[in-house]
Amino acid sequence: MSISTLLTAIDKRPALPLLQGIETITALDFYRHIAYLGSDSLKGRATGSQGERLAADYIMDHLHKENCLAGTASGYLQTIPMHGSYPLKSSELVINIDDKSVRLDLGQDYVLYKSGAQTFIPNPVPMVFVGYGIIAPEYDYNDYQSMDVTGKVVVYLSGEPPSDDPEYFLGKEPTIYSYPESKQRLAIARGARGSIMIPNSYNERRKTWDFWQNAFSFEDVTLAYSVTSHFSIMLHPNIAETLFTKPLDLQTVLKMDQDNTMSSFPLKSTLSFKGQFRQRDFFANNIIGIVPGSDPELKSTYIICSAHYDHLGIGKAVRGDSVYNGVFDNAAGVAALLQITKALNQIDVTPRRSIVFLFLTGEEKGVLGSTYYTDHPVYPLHKTVANVNVDGVAMFDTFNDIVGIGSEYSTIENELSLIASVLGLGVSSLPSEFLRTESFARSDQIVFAKAGIPSVMIMEGLDYRNLSKNQGLNRLINWQTNIYHTPFDDLLQPMNLEASRQHVRFLFAFIWHLANTTKPPEWKPGVPYINARLQSIAEKK
């Protein structure tokens, strides 16, 4: 079946204009975009850096060239006030137990989740071990049940109670309770002065301490209006032993974890922390363009196509390279959206709904740009019918199937299957080696979902045309283990640009289809994001 016939099947309108648009998506243009955005000259596009500002100028120039209108009343930029803080080695963390005091070394012995004045604990405070640091009423589970932690520092293991039963903590899949952020918020709510996480679950154990040192070596950035945080660290597993004394030593605690007999208890140790920080206040920007819809009624509804354009910047040198270029995380996603704006500009048919192109800052710092946008929406959330987030593009091989991360939560799943079918592709589930809920929560799509907007991130599957499934899976695992968030996500890595072009063309067809459907996507019954949708509709937010 020709691509012209396929596009007619999608849209039921003359296919020639759409064909002209999709043919403008080329491997060469894709590479030109990533060659600039991922170059050393932009120094990794850290949030609020000169490199990120250069990337923003490049994106805006392209939007203007392709007649994509400015998305705000003042232009393409949505300006966001932010605060940055970087902990210094002169910070003092001291553990007191019996008559001994042990000073821990930042980076070597612990890393800080959050930094700044709010983390100070100048005088020693008692500590309490609270199991996994979880309260989950639906599972009749409460690590805090017998513990008063007011004014104390809580200590917990990463992860959650082990389970093979999908009805209890989702079995092998992690729940939201396992996330460090959830545990930190709960500790604050229970009156704790601070929290310490001991890496213990599979996800944390499989990463070396060098990995965590590197991951936490960058500036901590928050929205200027964020709620004040508190002292929160990850402790090196070897150092964690110093917090416990017999008979309830760390080995006993780890055995409780294995036996599913976890319990909470006071510790005999105390802690103080006097941090030293380098801080700044600055502005960063989301970039917003819009292609207005043509339908008299549907043009006031919106499809948000998002991609973050920030990355990590300059960091710890690895094999002599300190620029974390972020070519496929996520110069590639930006390049995809830029190509789609060009394709739309090449066709005579205008989509029925309006398409918003949203280039986000601060994703690497905790989805800050998308959080700011949903807190301060330029277009009403209740009229935003879907979000298609692009964070990475196929790079290994051309493919026969796609995966819609998060599509199972809404009727987007049906639309995805339709487009895949007419384009001759299958739809596959996320490989079992990767956790479904964790994958959906790892990028900006989760923020739009929490705001009530049906969201999806579309990736290629493992049915590659020139690689076996095992070869493809091994390349993906190798990339995530050895390339992701390192200086080697650069222009020197192997990349199959035909696979990238295929992926971008699929995204174009899918976005076009969503922008022309008369019935908007809806959440499926029982999905936790429904209430946010109903609230935004009721409040007309």
Residue 214 is predicted with a pLDDT of 85
Task: Give pLDDT, residue 8.
Answer: 56
% of the chain exceeding 90 in pLDDT: 78
pTM over 0.75: yes
Residue range 136-189, pLDDT digits in tens: 999 999 999 989 999 999 999 999 998 889 889 988 877 888 889 899 999 999
| pLDDT value, residue 68 | 98
User: DSSP string of 451-463?
Assistant: TT--EEEEEE-S-
Domain ranges of the chain: 3-84+280-539, 89-275
Domain at 3-84+280-539, CATH homologous superfamily: Zn peptidases (3.40.630.10)
CB 45 within 8 A of CB 310: yes
d(Cα 106, Cα 519) in Å, to the nearest integer?
54
Rounded to 5°, the CA angle 304-309-313 comes to 155
Position 435 scores a pLDDT of 58
Low-confidence ranges of the chain (pLDDT < 50): 1-2
Q: How far apart are CA 166 and CA 321, in angstroms?
A: 44
Collapsing DSSP to helix, strand or coil, 296 comes out as coil
**Two structure tokens written together for 17:** 């204009």
Q: What is the DSSP string of 384-451?
A: EEEEEE------S--BSEEEEETGGGBTHHHHHHHHHHHTT-EE-PPPTTS-HHHHHTTSTHHHHHHT
Q: Which amino acid, 525?
A: P
Q: Which CATH architecture has domain 89-275?
A: 3-Layer(bba) Sandwich (3.50)
Strand partners, 404: 458
Q: Are 384 and 377 in contact (CB under 8 A)?
A: yes
Q: What is the pLDDT of residue 12?
A: 55
**The pLDDT value given to residue 213:** 87
In angstroms, rounded to a whole number, what is the distance separating the alpha carbons of residues 401 and 460?
Answer: 6
Residues β-bridged to residue 218: none
Residue whose tokens read 């004394």: 245
Tally of helices (H runs) and strands (E runs) in the chain: 17, 22
Find out whether 273 and 120 touch, Cβ atoms under 8 Å: yes
